[in-house]
Amino acid sequence: MNLFRIDRRLLANFDFVLLILLLLVCAAALSNLYSASYPPKSLSATPYLKQGIFLLMGFAVFLVVISVDYRELLFWNYPFYFLIILLLVLMYFIGYEANGSQRWINLGFFKLQPSEPAKLMMVITLASYYSRKEVVDGYSLKQLVVPLILTGVPFLLILLQPDLGTAMMLAIIFVSMTIFVRLKLSTYLILGTTAIALVVVAWEKVLKPYQKQRIQTFLHPEDDPMGNGYQILQSKIAVGSGGKFGKGYLEGTQGHLHFLPERHTDFAFAVWGEEWGFVGSFIFLGLYFALLIWGLYIAMNARDRFGVLLAFGVVILIFWQAVINLLMILGFLPVVGIPLPLVSYGGSSLMTTMICFAILMNVRMRRFQP
pLDDT in tens, 176-224: 999 999 888 888 888 888 888 877 777 676 666 766 666 665 555 555 5
End-to-end, the C-alpha distance of the chain in Å comes to: 19
Task: State what percent of residues in the chain have pLDDT above 90.
Answer: 46
**Which of 60-67's residues contact partners 24+ apart within 8 Å by CB, and which partners?**
61/351, 61/354, 61/355, 61/358, 62/354, 62/355, 62/357, 62/358, 62/361, 63/358, 64/358, 65/355, 65/358, 65/359, 65/361, 65/362, 66/358, 66/361, 66/362, 66/365, 67/4
- Per-residue confidence (pLDDT) for residue 306, from 0 to 100: 95
Q: Of 154, 158, 168, which Cα lies nearest the Cα of 202?
A: 168
Residue, of 131 and 36, whose pLDDT is higher: 131
- Per-residue confidence (pLDDT) for residue 223, from 0 to 100: 54
pLDDT in tens, 60-91: 999 999 999 999 999 999 999 999 999 999 88
The mean pLDDT value of the chain amounts to 84
- Per-residue confidence (pLDDT) for residue 332, from 0 to 100: 82
Mean pLDDT of 24-30: 95
Residue ranges of the alpha helices (H) in 67-134?
73-94, 115-132
Phi, psi of 106 (to 5 degrees): -80, 110
Reported as type and span, the H/E element at residue 303 is: none
| pLDDT over threshold 50, residue 21 | yes
Residues near 315 by beta carbon (within 8 Å), at least 6 away in sequence? 292, 295, 296, 299, 360
| pLDDT over threshold 70, residue 256 | no
Are 293 and 21 in contact by the 8 Å Cβ rule? The answer is no
- Per-residue confidence (pLDDT) for residue 356, from 0 to 100: 96
Q: CA dihedral in degrees (267, 235, 318, 301; nearest 10)?
A: -130
Work out the number of other CB atoms within 10 angstroms of the CB of residue 253: 15
> Band of the pLDDT at 1, cuts 50, 70, 90?
very low
